[in-house]
A and B are shown apart, each in its own frame.
Chain A
Amino acid sequence: MGSKADLLQGTLDLIVLRVLSLGPKHGYGIATRIRQISEDVLQVNQGSLYPALLRLEQRGWIKSYWGTTDTGREAKFFELTRAGRKQLAVESENWERVKGAIGRLMEAVE
């Protein structure tokens, strides 16, 4: 088995929301952060990040603005909205349930 896992569609949304709950970030920042937190296990295809960001923005969970990075470069920043925070709570709960279910399933099979 390789060390890098593909991301499920719904999971990417959850991860992006979770990363942004720590504060506004630009696209590159989000990708880097995901890799760092997952200790290089989760590798986001950086191209597919942008449609996902657009989808979240269309749903009203995040909003974007143009800002400047630490190095003085112009980039688009994303931050959670109030609806986004609620959604993160809902999705985290879902995730816990799924995780628990899969964990029990794995134990039972073993």
Chain B
Amino acid sequence: MRMLWSRIRGFVFAGRLDRDLDREIEAHVALIAEGLVERGISPGEARRMAIREFGNICLAKEDYRERRGLPMLEMLIQDVRFAVRVLRRKPAYSIAAMIVLALGIGLSTAVFSVIHGVLLSRLPYPDQDRLLTLWQTNPKKQGTRDEVAIANFLDWKERQRSFENLAVIEPFSHELMGDGEPEAIRSWIVSEGFFSIMGTPPLLGRWFTAEDYRAAPQEGYAPGGGNVVILSYGLWQRRFGGDPKVIGRAFPLRGRPMIVVGVMPPGFQYPLKRELWAPRLAQKQDRESRVSTYMMAVARLKPGVRIDQARDDMIRIATELEREHPATNKGSSIQLIPIADALTGHVRTAFWILLGAVGLLLAVACANVGGLVLARGVERTHELAVRRALGASPGRLMRQLVTETSVLSLCGGIAGVAIAHLAARTLRALPVPDVPRMEQVGISVPVVAFAVAVSAFTAVVCGLLPALRLGGGDSSGAMKAGGRSFVTTPARERARRWLVAGQIAVSMVLLTSAGLLTRSLVHLLAIHPGFTGQRVISLEVHAYRRTPTPEERIAYFRQTTESIRQVPGVQAAAAVSALPFHENAIDVETPVQATGEALKPIDARPVARVTVITPDYFQLMRIPLRQGRFFTDSDGPSSARVAIINEAMARSLFAGTDPVGRQIIVGRGANHVRQIIGVTANTLRTGLDESPRPEFFLPHAQSGAGSMTFVVRTESDPWIALPAIKEAIWSVKRGQPFSKIATVDALVAGTHGERRFQLALISVFAALSLLLAAVALFGFMSYSTSQRRSEIGLRMALGASRRDILRLIISDGLAIAAAGAAAGTAGSWIVGSGIRAMLFGVAHYDVATFASVVLTLAGVTLTASALPAMRAASTDAANALRSE
């Protein structure tokens, strides 16, 4: 204890104590000298003799200091200082190594932060391992998992013996009036027991009670007819400003006042982000409904019951139900999936593969930085040899080298965390579909710990391997040889050569993939969808409740489009049942047949998409008319039933003959007949990469559909006109909420979001691997030229010019790159055919892409070998030979 204290004191007051020691030794020497002077020796001579007698003053001081302070710490500080000085003297080398490490550490930390947020952190449900999701398997879809039909669920619930409780949840939409704008809120209606199964306590208020499920039954099918709701944290913040007195407040939802009884905490959002929960009331029809599967089921296992026991139990029930209801349940079984797997199962493998890829990249980065350190080390062999001769132990030198790489990887790690932070923020903002809990991705304590561990690992790996090779060895030999004699076996050198070529091959594969995907995207963006979406904004409405009858709806949409048209700055307004590229647009397909031929059985008739529009839709979207006429206001409920078909349908149904004036039978019956009055150009509906399909259009005045999307073309920025457009819609019916508002251009762009995401991901990897390959090549070339110093000197002495040397070194680099590119071309071919499904309008062996990648690689190779080559060319022949 006392020793430690003394040492710390010694460390802290090193300067003052050093002066003390100097005085002490000075006194000692002076005393010796005094003795000598007494014996008659001259003072000058006496002092010299005294110093000789005292011995090595420096060594004594050094020994003394080592005892006094904290030698490990002092040495570390000294090493770090020295390392920083060494690294600053070679900025190109240091910056290259640091960038590589920063990217390697940053990328792997970013991927880990995603995995940590999405896969590893616990869900906010107590005893999450006992939570299961239940699914029906669908025999018609090769036994894939499907949601549950309510009648089946009720049977499960009554007959099972394995669960504490089961509940179903059903997606729903609540129209919220309250203060501010009316809004359609995506909600869940949940059956009794849902919250107790999930187990997450509410932030405020309470869960639903049995009482809440006994609301007065309503007419018809009204499962969402309860009187109470629970808010999500997000909705509470957004619409109620986080007001703690919100509990017990009534506000109009679906036109009736509903009372807020609870607020859930932020992380609670199973299974998707929806903002409101309401009780699902039992319905009369529930016992019969075994066909419509749209309920999601959750259950909590009884304590001590294993999942396979529960599975056996449920399969027993499924077999019973098959027997009792063969018409609907034949071949249908039940799947049990733990909740964490149900949430993230589809991305789990992909994420781990991604981490593996990044880990591999990091390993390559380490190898490359290790190569750089080694190359630097060879240049420093002489320095190291001198230091050994002056008494540094091999361990001491090794520690020095590892300290240098530690400084590098510490800087790399700090920059890496910054990169990971940026990457996580970018990822959170990206519309990555179907990845739950993305908002939890970020830099947290475990993520930083991961980064630190990775940095430490890279420091040791990058530093220790070269240090083992440089630190050992016989100092006198190395000093004599001046760096040349440093032993490399040809096998080892060849291995490094192949490693560099391999990296070039890998980056070539990634670059061609990125190139092919880029060209695909360019081709895709050049596709015209068949309509023009510039300055068109869309507003989705569901008007069934405010306008219950078809007649009211026909009048409503006519009046409302007219009212929007009056808004200053609006050029045109229309409504459409399924707007192209709109995610909520339900594709309604129906069998169609031309009249005048024998009625085919339903299954044999071709199908076509049905879209309901108001008259101005085609002109507004600039969809050209090929034959006949557009709809007009006179195509009303009482006039002749008409339809407009697209070219694809004209071709498939009428094969070259003029369809205008012909009649088609629409739907399952034989009596719904419509006359074709026009043919329009094809439009794409769900993606730019699809081919046009048969489609026909009906006038809204002859349909009365209630779920429609208003489309409005404005003269300038549609977002500026939006408030006036909303007011115009509300002037016809107050309080109509909008389910989705988006410009048509944004909708189109949204459909290739995933493609952009893939492209961005692969581009990052490609760029990084190119950089790594360049660094590897640079490291290897520097290393091998310093190895060949004497050979180069000899060549120059024999008359080789600077150009010859440049050519010699660069052609060596190009040879390595060529080997890599040859392997890379083969690899790209294979990978290209593997990703053929993701390509569009470009062959997987696209010559232009391959050529530009090869050119890029050639350029990088030249750059990476130029610096070592120039250094080699400036070798002074006489000097290089003398050091032999």
A interface residues (Cβ-Cβ under 8 A, vs B):
26-29, 31-32, 45-48, 50-51, 54-55, 57-60, 69, 71, 73-76
Contacts and interface: CB of A to CB of B under 8 A. Distances in A.
B54 to A, nearest CB: 5
A6 to B, nearest CB: 13
B30 interface: yes
B3 interface: yes
B27 interface: yes
Contacts of A60: 2
A26 B28 contact: yes
Given A46-B32, A50-B63, A74-B23, 20 more contacts: A26-B27, A28-B27, A29-B31, A46-B54, A46-B60, A47-B56, A47-B57, A47-B59, A48-B55, A50-B21, A50-B24, A50-B25, A51-B64, A54-B68, A57-B6, A59-B2, A69-B31, A73-B27, A75-B24, A75-B27
B155 interface: no
Interface centre among B6, B32, B64, B68 (most CB of A within 10 A): B64
Contacts of A31: 28
A55 B55 contact: no
Contacts of B23: 74, 76
20 contacts: A26-B27, A28-B28, A28-B32, A46-B53, A46-B60, A47-B56, A48-B60, A51-B66, A54-B68, A55-B67, A57-B6, A58-B3, A58-B6, A59-B2, A59-B3, A73-B27, A73-B31, A75-B27, A75-B28, A76-B23
B434 to A, nearest CB: 66
B34 interface: yes
B24 A27 contact: yes
Top 8 A-B pairs, shortest CB-CB distance: A47-B60, A28-B31, A47-B55, A75-B27, A51-B63, A28-B28, A58-B6, A27-B28
Contact of B31 (A26, A45, A51): A26
B784 to A, nearest CB: 48
Nearest to B3: A58
A98 to B, nearest CB: 25
A46 B49 CA distance: 13
A51 B60 contact: yes
Contacts of A73: 27, 30-31, 34
A54 B21 CA distance: 11
Contact of A45 (B3, B25, B55): B55
A73 B33 CA distance: 12
A44 to B, nearest CB: 10
Nearest to B30: A73
A16 B19 CA distance: 24
A47 B54 contact: yes
B12 to A, nearest CB: 15
A74 B23 CA distance: 9
B718 to A, nearest CB: 82
A22 B60 CA distance: 26
Contact of B67 (A32, A47, A54, A71): A54
A100 to B, nearest CB: 32
Nearest to A69: B31
A71 B28 CA distance: 13
B2 A58 contact: yes
Contacts of B60: 46-48, 50-51
A56 to B, nearest CB: 11
A46 B55 contact: yes
A12 to B, nearest CB: 13
Interface residues of B, number: 28
Contacts of A26: 27-28, 31
B67 A76 contact: no
Contacts of A48: 55, 60, 63
Contacts of A57: 6
Contacts of A76: 20, 23-24, 27
Interface centre among A27, A50, A69, A73 (most CB of B within 10 A): A50
A72 to B, nearest CB: 10
Contacts of B27: 26-28, 73-76
Given A46-B53, A60-B2, A74-B23, A51 B32 contact: no
A35 B27 CA distance: 19
Interface string B15-46: 00000110111011011101100000000000
Contacts of A28: 27-28, 31-32
Interface in B55-106: 55-57, 59-60, 63-64, 66-68
Contacts of A51: 60, 63-64, 66-67
B31 A75 contact: yes
Nearest to A32: B35
Contacts of B64: 50-51, 54
A74 B27 CA distance: 7
Contacts of B67: 51, 54-55, 58
Contacts of B3: 58-59
A74 B64 CA distance: 20
Contacts of B28: 26-28, 31, 46, 75
Nearest to A75: B27
Contacts of B59: 47
A71 B2 CA distance: 35
Interface in B651-698: none
Contacts of A69: 31
Nearest to B63: A51
A29 B24 CA distance: 12
A99 to B, nearest CB: 28
B101 to A, nearest CB: 41
Interface in B550-568: none
Nearest to B58: A47
A39 B340 CA distance: 87
Contacts of B68: 54
B74 to A, nearest CB: 15
Contacts of B24: 27, 50, 75-76
Contacts of B20: 76
A84 to B, nearest CB: 14
Nearest to A28: B31
Contacts of B7: 58
A71 B30 CA distance: 11
A69 B27 CA distance: 10
Interface in B199-236: none
Interface centre among A28, A71, A76 (most CB of B within 10 A): A28
A54 to B, nearest CB: 5
Nearest to A29: B31
Contacts of A75: 24, 27-28, 31
B5 to A, nearest CB: 9
A57 B6 CA distance: 9
A87 to B, nearest CB: 14
A27 B67 CA distance: 17
Nearest to B20: A76
A84 B523 CA distance: 91
A69 B24 CA distance: 13
A75 B64 CA distance: 17
